[in-house]
Structure 1
Amino acid sequence: MKEPPGPAAMPTAEVLALIDTLHATDLRLEELTDGQVDTVANRLGAPFLLGRAQDHLRLSEAAKQSAILNALPAHIALLDAEGKILAVNEAWRRFAGANGWVGADFAVGLSYLQVCDAAHGAWCDEAQPVAAGIRAVLDGRARSYALEYPCHSPQQQRWFQMTVTPLFEHHPNGVVVMHIDITARKAAEERVAYLNRVYATLSGINSLIVRVRDRGTLFDEACRLAVGAGGFRMALIALADERSGKTVLAASAGVDEAFSRALQDYFASIESGRLGNTLLERVITQKKAMVVNDLQGNDEVVFRQQYVDVGVCSMVILPLVVTGQAVGTLVLYARERDFFREEELTLLTELASDVSFAMDHIEKQERIDYLAFYDVLTGLANQRLFLERLGQYARSAVAAGHGLAVFLIDLERFKNINDHLGAAAGDELLRQVAQWLIRNAGDASVFARLGADHFAAVMPVIRPNGDMVRYLESKLEAFQEHPFGLGDSVLRIGIKVGVAMLPGDGTDADTLFRNAEAALKQAKAHGDRYLFHNPQMTASVAGQLELENRLRLALERGEFVLHYQPKVHLASGDMTSAEALIRWNDPHTGLLVSPGQFIPVLEETGLIHAVGRWALRQAVADYLRWCAAGLAVVRIAVNVSPLQLRDRGFIAEVQRAIGGDPRAPAGLELEITESLIMEDVKHSISSLHALRAMGLTVAIDDFGTGFSSLSYLSKFPVDSLKIDRSFVLDMTESPQGLALVSTIINLAHALHIKVVAEGVDSDDQLRLLRVLGCDEMQGYLFSPALPSAVFEARYLGSPPQAGADAP
C-alpha cells in the first residue's frame, strides 16, 4: 500500500487556495451573524471559532498570563529559542529600576545568553554555568536548571535562586528564567548553622565535663572543641592567677605561636589586678558577657588589627564565675560579622557556666584528693601518703641493694607552747618546722606530718660508709639552735627522734614505720634525743600497748584504789593531813602496781582525765564517809596531773566533786607540781584563786625542781609547798644541800607559806628538819601509804606520834 505524501510534498497552490477559502468563509459568517456569534457548528456539532473571537481569546489569555506573572514576587524573564528576552514581569522591572538597570524596555530584546557569555571578573564564575544551563534546557538536554548565588551591595547582602524551565512543556522553543529572592531563607539557614555550631560546642564540652579530671585538660579540650566542632576561628581561656594577681593565658586553639606570645607578653606587662578599662576587665568586674560583632570598627579591642589580619570579624568574652567570683574569661572569635546574637549568646553563656561548673567540680575533687594525702597546715604528706612513698622507696632499696632510714620526729614542749601562746601560734610553729625540715634536711616529698606534733622523714638511699649518727647529731644540733619567731616571741625547741633502718629493722614500709615508732617511744621514755631501733624496743612497745588496753579495762572494772600516806607536824607529832596515792590491783599479775609504772601511760593515752576524776571523787567520798562515822578526819591531798590542770573544764570538775556536801571543801587539798604552774603563770594564778575560793587548800608539789618560780612565789595563792625528796636526801650529804633546804624554808615562812618535807626516811633527816624549822614531814620514817581501811583503823581513831615505828 502506498503511503500518503508528507507535508512537504503537498502542492503549494492547493494549500494557498484552502487558506483563501477558509478566510472568505470566516468573513461571510461574520457578516451573517452581524458579529454577535463567536462560534458556529455544523449538523454533526463540530464547532468553528470565528476570527474576531479568536483574537479576543488570544488577548484575554495573554492578559491573564501577564497578570499572573506580574503578581509573582519572583523576577521573571521569557526567552525565545535564541536566548533573547521576549518579556519581563513587574518584579523584574522594579528590581532593575532599583539597581540602575533601566534601559530600553528593561532589557527586553537583549540576548540573555550573550550577556552571560560576555561576563568577566567576579561574575564570570557564575555567568558561564548559567549560560550552559539555559542552553541545556533549550536544547532539550535538561528538563530544568537551578543555581543559588549572592547578589550583595554595599548596603545589603542578598541571595537569589535562579531556575530555568521550558516555555512550553513539549516544545522547548523558549525558556522561563526566574530569580527568587531567598535572602530570608539563607539568613534563617545561616542562623541555624550558627546555632548548630554553638550546640556542637556545648554538647562537646558537656561530654568533656563528665570525663575530665584536671583543669589543664578541661581548658585545652574546651578551646579545641570550640575551634573544631564549633567552627570558631580562635578560642582562648585567660585566668586570674591567685598568687600573682596577674591575668595568664591558660589555653588556646587556632592561635598561632606569634600571636600567643603577644598575648602572654601583654598580660605579663600589666600590673597585678590592673587591666584598666578594657573589655576583659569589664567582663571580670561586671561578670557579664561582652560582644563585639564588628571588630574592625571597634577601637576598644586591644589586638584589633591582628584579629582582622587572621580573618576574625566578631568576638565574645564570657566570664568564668566560680562560687560567685569571676576567675577568668572564655573568649571565642568568629569569621562572620554579627555572629553573636541573642540566641547564640544565651547558649554561649550556658557554655561558660558549664565550664565554670567543671572548674569548681575539679577544684573540689582536687581538694578532696589533697586532703586524702596531704596535711593542710604544713603542705607535707600525711601518714597515708608517707607510707605509700616509703613502700616505693623500700622496694627500690631492696632491689638496688642499698640501705634506707626512717625517722619519726616528736617536738618537745609543743603542748605547752600551744596552750601558752595559743593555737594560732602553735600552727605557725608547725609550719615553720616543716619549712625548716625541707630547707635543711631534704626534699618535701620525703617528709610528712603524722599528727599534732609528730613528723616523719625517709632517707631513700644510705651510703654503705655513711655515718648516720654524726648526720643525725648535726641535724639535731642545727634544729635546736634555730630560732623560731612567733609574733613577739622567739623560741628554740628540741626534738626526739626514733630511727629504723633497712634492711636490719625491716624491708617493708609497715615494719620500718612500726620499728621507728618503737624507737621514738623509748627515746621519749628515757629522755634520749634519739634512739635507733633494736628488737628489744619492739617487745617493749608491744608490752606498753598491752598495758594501755589493761588500764582501760582497769577503770571500767574498778581495779584502781587509793592508799593514804600521813603528813605529820614536826613539832607536835600530830597527823595533820594525808596524801591520797593511787594504786592498781592488777588481776593479770596479782600484784599492786605503783603509780610510777602506769601514770605516764595514762597521761600519754589521755586516760588520766578519767582516772584523775575518779581519784578526786573517791578521796571526797572517803572523807565524807569518815565524817559520817565520827572519826578524827584530816584533810586529804590529791595530786593533780598536768593534763588535768590544762583542761579548761577542770575547775568545774572540782566544783562538781565537792558540790554535794558542804563539808567536802574543808577535807580537800590539791597538790600541783611547780613545773606545771610555771607553764602558764597567768592561767595558773587564775585557777589557784578559783580553787581557794571554793574553800580548798593548795600545795606546790616537788618545789625546787622548776628553778624559775621563786620570783612568782609571792603571787601564787598557795597554802603550802613541798620540798622535793631529792633535796631532803642532799641535805644530809652536803652543806650546799642543807643550805638550799634552809633557804626554801625561810623564804616560804617569810611569805607565810607552810613547808612540808617529802621522802623523810631517817632520823637524821627528821632532826635536821626540826632544827631548820620545817613545819611538816611525810615519808617512810612515819608511815608508807596504806590501804584505806588500814589507814582508817590505824590513824583516825587516836592521834599518832612522830618517830613511831613504820609498819
Structure 2
Amino acid sequence: MDSVEKLVDRLRAAGPWQLILISVVLAELFTLLFSTLQSYLYWGHVSVQVLIVGAGDALIVTIFVATIITILSWQISALKQKLKSREEAEKQFRVLAYYDTLTGLPNRVMFKEVLGQAIKAAEREKEGELGLLFIDLDDFKRVNDSLGHDLGDQLLHAVTERLLVSTRSSDYIARSEDEEAPDVLSRLGGDEFTVLLRRLVHVEDAGKVAARLQNDLSEAFVIGGQEIFITASIGIAVYPNDGKDVHALLKNADAAMYHAKSKGRNNYQYYTPAMNFSALEVLTVERKLHKAVENNELQLFYQPKKSLAKDKVTGMEALLRWKPAGGEMVLPSQFISIAEETGLIIELGKWALGRACAQAKQWQEAGYEPIVMSVNLSSRQFDQKDLVDVVSNALIDSGLEARFFELEITESAVMRDPDGAMRVLAVLKEMGVTISIDDFGTGYSSLNYLRMIPLDYLKIDRSFVVNIGRVRSDEAIIKAIIGIAHSLDLRVTAEGVESIEQLSFLRACGCDEIQGYIVSPPVPDSEVERLLYRSNSPIFP
C-alpha cells in the first residue's frame, strides 16, 4: 500500500511531458503483456483474444485522455493563479493611485475624477447644484515643525477622523465604481482637504457644513500626550455659478479659501469673481515684500500706553508699516496676513524687534524717562525655534535692558501648544522680558493654563471696549477679566479706548492701562518725542 502511495506521489510530482512519456511506455508494456496472454489463450477462445486486445486499446486511450486532462487542468489552474495575481496587483495599483496612504481618503486624482463625474451627472439631470469646500488647516506647518513629522501625521489622521464624524452620515468616504456616493471627502495633499456636496438644494447649506466642520475642529486634539488646537480656513465654490468644469471649481474654491485666510483665518468664504484679482494682488505683494527690508521700505509707528494710576505714558507698542519705493503707505491688513502665510513675517518680525529695541534705547539716551517698548508677535514668529535668541540678540545689539521690553502674543498662539509656550515664555521671563496676552477674551484660554503661564499683562480686546455703555454682557466680561487678572497678580491693559465714557468705566473697574485714540493714534518716531514730553498732561477731566 505504501509503495502505491509513493508511486502516486511521484506521478503527481512529474511534469506533463514526463507523464506523456510514462503513458506511452505503459501502453507498450500493456500491449506486450496482452500479446503474450493471447498466445497462451488462443486455443479455441477467440473471444478472449478480442477482449484482451480491446482492453489494451481502451487502456491506452484512457491513459492518454487522462494525461491530456491532467495537463489541461494544470494549465487552467496556472492561468487562474496568474489572473488572480493580476487582479490583486491591479487592486493594489488602484489603491496607490486613487487613495491617500496616510488617511485612506480619496486623493487628488480620484477626487478630480469623481468631481468630473458629478458635473456630468448634474448637467444630465439638471437637478440641484454642487458645492465644493476647500479646507486648509491654519498654521499646520508650524504645528508640524514643532511636533515633528510623526506626530504631525498623527494629527492629520486625527483631523481626518473628526472630519468623517462631522460630515453627514450619508457622506461618502471611499467607494467602488458602482456604489452611490452622495458626498466626497478627500485629502488633496499636505494639510488640504476637500468636500464635495452633491444635489445641493440651497447654496447656504454649504456654509452650514463649513461652519459645522470648523466648530468640530476647534476642540483640542490630544497628540503624544499634548493638547493641540487647530483651526481651518474654508473656501466654497458652487457649480455651475462658480465654474462648470473641474479646474475652474477647484481654482475658485482655492481662491475663496485664501480670502478666508486674509480675513483672519478660522472662517469660511464663498467665492466671488473679485477674488481672482485678489489672488493676483497676493502674488504681487509677496514679490515686493521680499525686497522690503533690503530696500529700507519698512518703518515702525508707535502707539502709547497710558497708566491710569500714574496718568502718564508708561509704554509704547511698535506697529509695522510698509511704504514701497515710489508708492503709498500699505495698510497692515493688506500685507501682514500675506507675510504670515508665506513665512516672510519671520524676516519682517526680526527687523521690527531689532528696530524697536534700538529706538527705545535712543529715547532713553535722549534724556526721556524710560518706557516699556512692546512688540506684537504673530503665531508663526512665536513658534520659530530661535525666538529666544532673536530677542536676546535684539536686546544685546541695542543695549536695551530686558525690563524695558515687552512681548505681546495672542492667546490662540499660546493655546495651540500650551506646554511648549510655557517653556519658551519661562525662558523669556527669566531674561526679564515682560509678557502680555493680546486680544484676551476672543480665544479659548484655559484658566488652568492661564494660572501656570508666566504672564504680566492681559490685554482686553477692543471688541469688548467698543460696546461699553451699549452691551451689558460685554461690560460684565470686562469686569470679569479685570477681576481674574488681579486675582492672579496680573495687570490689565484695555485697547481701543476712544471715549471719555469708556475711560471712566475702565477706571472705575480698576483697569491698569489704556491704549487707543483717546491717548494717541499710532504715529511715526518723529512725533513720539512730543507725546513723551506731554506724557504728564492729564487725560481724565
- TM-score normalized with structure 1 length: 0.48
Match of 1:498 in 2: 235
Q: CA deviation at 1:602?
A: 2.3
Match of 1:442 in 2: 172
**In 1: Cα distance, 2:442 partner to 2:220 partner:** 27
Q: CA deviation at 1:391?
A: 5.1
CA-based RMSD of the aligned residues comes to 4.7
Contact 2:136–2:257 (CA under 8 A) maintained in structure 1: no
RCO greater where, 1 or 2, for CA within 8 Å and sep 6 or more? 2
Contact 1:570–1:802 (CA under 8 A) maintained in structure 2: no
Contact 2:305–2:314 (CA under 8 A) maintained in structure 1: yes
Contact 2:434–2:455 (CA under 8 A) maintained in structure 1: yes
Of residues 234, 255, 267 in structure 1, which corresponds to 2:74? 255
Listed as ranges, the matches of 1:104-183 within 5 Å are: 121=32
Contact 2:299–2:322 (CA under 8 A) maintained in structure 1: yes
Match of 1:153 in 2: none
SS of structure 2 residue aligned to 1:448: strand
Q: CA deviation at 1:611?
A: 1.8
The amino acid that maps onto 2:322 is W
Q: CA deviation at 1:384?
A: 5.1
Contact 2:316–2:371 (CA under 8 A) maintained in structure 1: yes
Q: Please tell me whether residue 801 in structure 1 is matched to residue 537 in structure 2.
A: yes
Q: In 2 relative to 1, CA 796–529 (structure 1 residues): closer, same or farther, beyond 3 Å?
A: closer
The amino acid that maps onto 1:581 is L
SS of structure 2 residue aligned to 1:782: coil
Match of 2:330 in 1: 593
Contact 1:378–1:430 (CA under 8 A) maintained in structure 2: no
Match of 1:778 in 2: 515
Contact 2:307–2:313 (CA under 8 A) maintained in structure 1: yes
Q: CA deviation at 1:605?
A: 2.5
Of residues 256, 260, 281 in structure 2, which corresponds to 1:519? 256
Q: In 2 relative to 1, CA 775–386 (structure 1 residues): closer, same or farther, beyond 3 Å?
A: same
**In 1: Cα distance, 2:378 partner to 2:113 partner:** 38
Cα offsets for 1:431-486 (capped at 9, x unmatched)? 42576569742253655312333212446xx66x9456447746975996799996
Q: In 2 relative to 1, CA 485–669 (structure 1 residues): closer, same or farther, beyond 3 Å?
A: closer
Q: CA deviation at 1:661?
A: 5.2
Q: Please tell me whether residue 574 in structure 1 is matched to residue 312 in structure 2.
A: yes
Q: Please tell me whether residue 425 in structure 1 is matched to residue 184 in structure 2.
A: no
**In 2: Cα distance, 1:382 partner to 1:781 partner:** 54
Gaps of 5+ in 1: 1-119, 126-231, 236-251, 264-327, 329-358
The amino acid that maps onto 2:306 is V
SS of structure 1 residue aligned to 2:349: helix
**In 2: Cα distance, 1:764 partner to 1:644 partner:** 36
Q: CA deviation at 1:563?
A: 0.6
Contact 2:361–2:399 (CA under 8 A) maintained in structure 1: no
Match of 2:438 in 1: 701
Q: CA deviation at 1:784?
A: 1.3
The amino acid that maps onto 2:246 is A
The amino acid that maps onto 1:593 is V
Q: CA deviation at 1:619?
A: 1.0
Contact 2:214–2:267 (CA under 8 A) maintained in structure 1: no
Q: In 2 relative to 1, CA 710–501 (structure 1 residues): closer, same or farther, beyond 3 Å?
A: closer
Q: In 2 relative to 1, CA 578–234 (structure 1 residues): closer, same or farther, beyond 3 Å?
A: farther
The amino acid that maps onto 2:539 is G
Match of 1:345 in 2: none
Listed as ranges, the matches of 1:640-789 within 5 Å are: 640-660=377-397, 662-706=399-443, 708-733=445-470, 737-789=474-526
Q: In 2 relative to 1, CA 429–538 (structure 1 residues): closer, same or farther, beyond 3 Å?
A: same
**In 2: Cα distance, 1:656 partner to 1:524 partner:** 32
Q: In 2 relative to 1, CA 520–234 (structure 1 residues): closer, same or farther, beyond 3 Å?
A: farther
SS of structure 1 residue aligned to 2:397: coil
Q: CA deviation at 1:417?
A: 8.1
Cα offsets for 1:4-61 (capped at 9, x unmatched)? xxxxxxxxxxxxxxxxxxxxxxxxxxxxxxxxxxxxxxxxxxxxxxxxxxxxxxxxxx
The amino acid that maps onto 1:383 is R
Q: In 2 relative to 1, CA 762–533 (structure 1 residues): closer, same or farther, beyond 3 Å?
A: closer
SS of structure 2 residue aligned to 1:378: coil
Q: In 2 relative to 1, CA 718–385 (structure 1 residues): closer, same or farther, beyond 3 Å?
A: same
**In 2: Cα distance, 1:637 partner to 1:673 partner:** 13
Listed as ranges, the matches of 1:612-631 within 5 Å are: 612-631=349-368
**In 1: Cα distance, 2:459 partner to 2:210 partner:** 40
Listed as ranges, the matches of 1:168-567 within 5 Å are: 255=74, 374-383=99-108, 386-387=111-112, 390=115, 394=119, 405=130, 407-410=132-135, 415=140, 422-433=151-162, 440-442=170-172, 444=174, 447-458=185-196, 466-467=201-202, 469-470=204-205, 473=208, 477=212, 497-523=234-260, 531-567=269-305
SS of structure 2 residue aligned to 1:593: coil
Contact 2:318–2:376 (CA under 8 A) maintained in structure 1: yes
Contact 2:237–2:256 (CA under 8 A) maintained in structure 1: yes
Which structure is higher in helix share? 2
SS of structure 1 residue aligned to 2:74: coil
SS of structure 1 residue aligned to 2:329: strand
**In 2: Cα distance, 1:484 partner to 1:620 partner:** 36
The amino acid that maps onto 2:108 is Q
Q: When the two structures are aligned, how many residues end up with a matched partner?
A: 459
**In 2: Cα distance, 1:405 partner to 1:412 partner:** 23
Cα offsets for 1:637-692 (capped at 9, x unmatched)? 00011222233332233223323355342331101223332333322222221111
Q: In 2 relative to 1, CA 766–456 (structure 1 residues): closer, same or farther, beyond 3 Å?
A: closer
SS of structure 1 residue aligned to 2:458: strand
SS of structure 1 residue aligned to 2:189: coil
Cα offsets for 1:564-606 (capped at 9, x unmatched)? 1111222333221111011121457x43233233322222232
Bigger Rg, structure 1 or 2: 1
Contact 2:354–2:398 (CA under 8 A) maintained in structure 1: no
**In 2: Cα distance, 1:372 partner to 1:510 partner:** 20
**In 2: Cα distance, 1:529 partner to 1:743 partner:** 27
Q: In 2 relative to 1, CA 372–438 (structure 1 residues): closer, same or farther, beyond 3 Å?
A: farther
SS of structure 1 residue aligned to 2:357: helix
Q: CA deviation at 1:761?
A: 1.6
Cα offsets for 1:402-442 (capped at 9, x unmatched)? 77735233266784987689425303214425765697422
The amino acid that maps onto 1:450 is L
SS of structure 2 residue aligned to 1:731: coil
**In 2: Cα distance, 1:405 partner to 1:732 partner:** 46
Cα offsets for 1:127-155 (capped at 9, x unmatched)? xxxxxxxxxxxxxxxxxxxxxxxxxxxxx
**In 1: Cα distance, 2:418 partner to 2:220 partner:** 22
Q: CA deviation at 1:506?
A: 2.6
Contact 1:692–1:698 (CA under 8 A) maintained in structure 2: yes
Q: Please tell me whether residue 606 in structure 1 is matched to residue 343 in structure 2.
A: yes
Q: In 2 relative to 1, CA 438–732 (structure 1 residues): closer, same or farther, beyond 3 Å?
A: closer
Q: Which moved more, 1:383-392 or 1:613-622?
A: 383-392
Q: In 2 relative to 1, CA 712–466 (structure 1 residues): closer, same or farther, beyond 3 Å?
A: closer
Gaps of 5+ in 2: 1-30, 37-66, 176-183
The amino acid that maps onto 1:121 is L
Contact 2:357–2:400 (CA under 8 A) maintained in structure 1: no
**In 2: Cα distance, 1:500 partner to 1:701 partner:** 34
**In 1: Cα distance, 2:522 partner to 2:209 partner:** 47
